[in-house]
Amino acid sequence: MAVTAVQAHYTFPRLVINGNSDAADWTTTRRTKNADSKQGIENPTSADIRCYQSSNAASVATVPAGATIHYVSSQQVNHPGPTQYYLAKVPTGADVKTWDGSGAVWFKISTTMPKVDAQKQMTWPGQNGYITSNATIPKSVPSGDYLLRVEQIALHLAMKANGAQFYLACSQITITGGGSGSPGPMVTFPGAYKSSDPGELRRWEEVG
């Protein structure tokens, strides 16, 4: 039973940029506290909702603006729910390898939406696969150092408060060839979500 429970959960240890994957797990992605257990976060107000990290990564990935990105999953992403990507620009004078991403600095660049069939059953992009859905780094994002945050919100138990499970990771990246845009709106982690938010508290038949 214990083995089955672990296999039902997952982490995102490798970043893929324009089809090129990190050579090893946790190279540019900060190792998460659930690297062994694979268990998701259930309390969206926990400090772990930001990056769930246990240690910083040794390397920084170079990502051209406009690049396509995704993550390799440690296990099959078998729970239904959206995948979302956020960026946070590292402040001047801070080091991307040690900055903690605190404050209202995060902005969303991508979210997936489900397909709904005639029986009103939802199928989510990336569900039952071993990689997350693709996202594009906007060309308008200014160049510089960033934390890139991926999350998949599993909704299979979201019929109760704190039932949604968050599977996430943060990577250390440098965006090159960026634009002069002003990203927003900005959110904090924790602070962006509540367990009662629409989309995190749903009836089973809506996400089965």
**Would you place residue 63 in the very low, low, confident or very high pLDDT band (cuts 50, 70, 90)?**
very high
The answer to the question of residue 162 being in a domain is: yes
* pLDDT per position as a tens digit, 132-158: 999 999 999 999 999 999 999 988 555
The answer to the question of residue 1 being in a domain is: no
- Domain hosting 104: range is 9-207
Is residue 150 within 8 A of residue 120, CB to CB? The reply is: no
The answer to the question of residue 3 being in a domain is: no
CATH of the domain at 84: 2.70.50.70
Average pLDDT, the chain: 88
Pairing of strands 68-77, 14-17: antiparallel
Q: What's the pTM?
A: 0.88
* pLDDT per position as a tens digit, 21-61: 999 999 999 999 999 999 899 889 999 999 999 999 999 99
The answer to the question of residue 26 being in a domain is: yes
The answer to the question of residue 134 being in a domain is: yes
Question: Given this model, what pLDDT does residue 78 score?
Answer: 83
Average pLDDT over residues 117-122: 83
C-alpha dist (Å) from residue 115 to 9, 56, 80, 151, 198? 23, 36, 11, 19, 18
Contacts of 95 (CB under 8 A, 6+ apart): none
Please tell me the total count of domains within the chain: 1
The answer to the question of residue 167 being in a domain is: yes
**Would you place residue 6 in the very low, low, confident or very high pLDDT band (cuts 50, 70, 90)?**
very low
**Would you place residue 119 in the very low, low, confident or very high pLDDT band (cuts 50, 70, 90)?**
confident
* pLDDT per position as a tens digit, 10-23: 999 999 999 999 99
The answer to the question of residue 2 being in a domain is: no
The answer to the question of residue 157 being in a domain is: yes
* pLDDT per position as a tens digit, 152-193: 998 855 555 556 889 999 999 999 999 999 999 999 999 998
